Each structure stands twice: as C-alpha cells, then as structure tokens.
Structure 1
C-alpha cells in the first residue's frame, strides 16, 4: 500500500465531502497530559464532572478505539453570512446567540461525513478499523488538530488558522493504518492578547488556559444550575454562548463565510427580541429549536439565560410583567427571575430619581433667572 498516495486521496475525499481542511497526525498526546491534569486539579472544568471522570483517556485516543495509530483531523467552517455581530451585541433588547449555533446542530452532520470518509478509505484498503468523533467523547481534539497541521492554539485556547481564523468546527476519524503525518503550523499570535483582555468575565486566566467557571459559554450552556450573581451583569444579552474572544482576533478579519447552508441563521433568529423569546412555551421552544444544538439545554435553562439578559436590559414597562408571569415555574428559574426583577426596578427607580433631579434643577433655574433682563 502506498500510504503517501492514500493520504493525498483522503484529503481530496475529505474536501469533496465538504471539509475545508484535512490533516493527519499520530496519537501521541503525552506532552498534554500534565497540563490537562493541572487544569482539572485547579477545578477549571466546573461542573463538567466527565472531564475528571475520564482522566487521561482524553489524551490517549487508542483507549477510545483500540488499534488506533493515526487520527484524521478535519475542519468545517461555520461562519454564517450576515453574522451581524456588532449590531446584535450592541442592542441589549435583542438576544445574542453564539454564531456556531444559529443553524443546525453540527454534530450529526460532521459525524455522518466522517463516516462516509471512513467508508471511502475502507473501500480503498480492504479492511479498516475506524471510528468518527465530533465533540462527543473524551478526546483532546484541539491538540490533535494542531498536530495535524490544521492550525495553532490561540491564547483563547481555540485553534487558529491564518486563512480561516477560528470560525470552524473540528472532527476526528480514528484509524488503524500507518498514514504519513502532517507538520504542525507555527504559532502566529505573537504578543497579541486581544482575546484575553476582551473577555467579559476574565475567563482566560493565562495564555491558552480558560477557567470554564467564568466563561459565558459554560455558564449559559454547560451549567444547569444557578449562575453566580457576580457574573450575571457581565453576561449582557448573551443567552447562548459567547464569541467575544473570536470577534477581536485579528486572524478572524479575513475569514470566509460558510458554504454549508445548514449553518446559516434560522429565520426565527432574524428578530430575536428577548421578550419574545422569553414568551415561548416549552412546546414552541422544542419546535423552533428542532435540529439545533440549543435544544439540548432545555426550556428552563433557556428561560434562565434570557431572564438574566432581561435583567441586564434597559428598563422597559413590558419586561416586569413578562418576568412575573414566569414566577413559580421552577426554583432555579425563580432565583434568576427575581434578580432580573430587582435589576429592572433599580433602573426604574434611577429613571424616576433622575427625573426628580431634573425637575428640581429646572425650578432652581427659573427662580434664579426670574426678573433678570432678557439679555442677561
């Protein structure tokens, strides 16, 4: 078997299946084990207990699929057209949803394409042991992608490519054939720390290290309990995920939009009023989010996230009754609704106090100027 030629064919087949880039690496991630253990020991995984439960399996692909000696790593771009980052984030009455989740759930799509790639290789070599993974198993996909030449690890811990930035999904196909491996890219972040300084909650605690407990993506997606009160105001109108560290990255300026229509913005999100989304019934949520990654957080967590955003929104007469209608539905949800109500009441009181001050000032001006000549 000419494995060099086979590797070239695999990359061509991968692109024909829709992947923008395909790389190949060995399975040695031993240099990442100590860093992974430090991250877990520091508690940076938060409530994601499976991170600690699987231990070093994440750094040992051969334990996930015995016989594995190579990993084929793939990249699929997801940046939707008309992403409207700035306009959406700057309007606190509208919900901000991480751009990767505006369309269909990527897991099944990429897994199916990886399975087709495995079948294609099997047709070529006769017998193949393979297994596809898409963010669905304890595997260090970013270090694998880095070793496979798909990019380098940015200071926000995401994989960066000089042509695509970081707006892409990753997937892996574990195989048991000795394919030639690719060379890693050189880290090109330099002295730039824009991602670290722009994080709303300071979750990037050191270069390449994210404390999930502070990360808005973790707080709105992975955490199903109570969002710490000190972090709620920093979430702003982000109700599912956060893109801030990617938005400021210089390498993302030239990223091309995805050619995959499944990742385009759903029509339901073209006008994403917080009040309107908060009024969805559970049946409406399940129907509107069918086929979406958002569906997995469930209706209560969806409402919890929007309640926080409504608390952060400017005062509006419609918000208070909208929040109050949801009270009594769930204990954890009530905690966030009560907080939001208090925040809205504070803003209403501030508007009232400001109006009173302005009225007093106007009276004072009239008293002072009363009787003075017009040209005084």
Structure 2
C-alpha cells in the first residue's frame, strides 16, 4: 500500500508539473503576441512622429542654422549647398539632392548609425532634413528589455501558479483513485478467503458423494463456479493495479461462450428464457480468459433479464473475432444507444416508464473490450429485440 501511495504521489507531481508547463506555455504565447503587437504599435508611432518632425523642420526652414534638436538641414539652391554645422560624415544624401524634382524619405545607414532622410523641393531649392534615429532605437531597446523581463517574470509566476493549482485540482482525484484502489484491494482480500473455503468444501462434498451421478455433477458445477469466481476476483485485482501486467494467453472464445451459456442455463430456465449457442470449431484470440468470461457473462445476463423468451449467443471468426448476444426483448431506446456503455444508463418508453436499465455490466464490457484492443456496440434487431456485438482482434 505504501508503494501504491508513492505511485499516486508521483502521479500527482507529474500532473502538477504538466499543468504548470501548460500554463507557462499559454502565458508565453500570450506575452509573445502582446509584445509583438506592442512593438508594432510603438514602431508605427515612432515612424509617424519622425516623419512629422522632418516635415515640420523642412516647412519652417529659412536657413540651416536652427533645426530641431537631433536633426540637420541641407539646402541646395543654384548649385550651392548649405548644411547645418556638425552634419555627420557621409551626409547629405547626394543622390536625393541631385534628383531635383524627387521627393521622398529614406533610411540611411552609416557605420553603426541610422538616419532618416526626407528630401523635398521647395520652389527653386531642394531642402533635405536629416534625423538621427539613435534615440528612437534606444527607446525601442528599453521597451523590448522591459517586455522581456516582464514576460520572463510572468512566465515563471504562471508556471509556479499553474503547478500549484494543478496540484490542488488533482489532489482530490488522486485521493479518490487511492480510495477506490484501497476498496478493491480490501474487498478482494476479504473475498479471497471465503471463496477458497467454498472451493475446498465443494471439493470435499464431491469426494463424499461417491457414485451419486446427479449430485456429483452438481458438485462439479459448484467447484467450477467457485474456480471462476476466484479467477474473476484475481482479474479485478489486476485491473485495479496499473503496475501489474494482465496475463495474456490463447483463449478459445467459442468454448468460453459455451461454458458461459451452460453456467447461465439455470437462471435462464427460471426466467423462462431459451438459450442457444452458435459456434463452430475453435475461435481463438489472445487475451485474459477471466476478463472475457466477465464480458460474456455481463452481455448474457443483460439479455436474459430483458428477453421475452429466447437469447442467442453466436461466435464467429473472420478478419476479427465477433461474439454477438441477441435477445427478443423490447429493444433499446435509440436515444440511449450513444451513451449505452456509460455507467448506470437508463432507457425509457414513450410514456416515460422505465424500459431497460444498464448498471455497471455494459460499462465493464466496454472497458474489457478496450483492454483487449477491441470494441463493443449495440443495435436494435428486427422485428424486436437487441443485439450486442463484441469485436476483438485475433
């Protein structure tokens, strides 16, 4: 039990870490999108402000002596070029000035510096305004640095918070699973002893009966039933413990179906239901005999409870192995078929009276089929009744 609790604790930690990682990933994507949008908005705003500043500088330029801070002016008139003192080397943009009637904005890279250059013709002169973009670049770098730091802190906070919330959310589920496993283990432990005693007493009874053939046959059936109950109990215990591998061997499903029908014959007779088996030769698959017996028992028990007078069990092999259990009962509520193999499904008639009830049996059949790589389905038969099909791979 201590080892199982340790496994549950590891499962809880993995679930919490997974939740934290998913939360951090979601936050990372959100932060990345928001950062991208923020940077685009800032870039557009900066470009608009830079262009407005250059246009204003050109519009108010009487000479090149008093441009706005961070800008330089160049005026070309009649072959003479005047420039603001301190104009960076490599400027002005001679091609733009020489174009004469051309007007436009260019970004010019000189060394590791970038400048925005706006050239316009104004009457008989060409004016060029030049803006140093270093401050704009520094502002963007500060913004990106702040976004990066904020994003990393948010990512870390989201991961820790997600792991904490995931642990809190998964803890009740882990406790429920541990309680369920503890119940199954305790029930299996408590039932194992009386089943062993039942089997032993049945064997002793069979030995003491001597030649009483009928009584001996009944005792043989009692011994077989006790053995099957023990196998079912062992299978339930294995299913409750995910660490244990389920025993797999070659199972003759046709022979298993005949044995299940034979065991159910007294109950069917008491209900006035006739049982028929249709299975020729061997139909073998790899699986757990105890689990498959439980599945067939559940399907047959459901059919007997709802049949009017007859139930047919058929087993056949093709590309897959198919076992069908058909009854001549009232059929299945069509609205119920999609959820038929969930636990405690209930069908109703047109006047809302209960029609067919399905407890755990069909849900367990679905789980057993899934464990064997197969499936189970249901449909209504014509003119009446229901057909349940268990499909399993070879």
Instruction: Return the TM-score normalized by structure 2.
Output: 0.18
Instruction: Return the TM-score normalized by structure 1.
Output: 0.19
Normalized per residue, the structure richer in helix is: 2
Q: Which has the larger radius of gyration?
A: 2
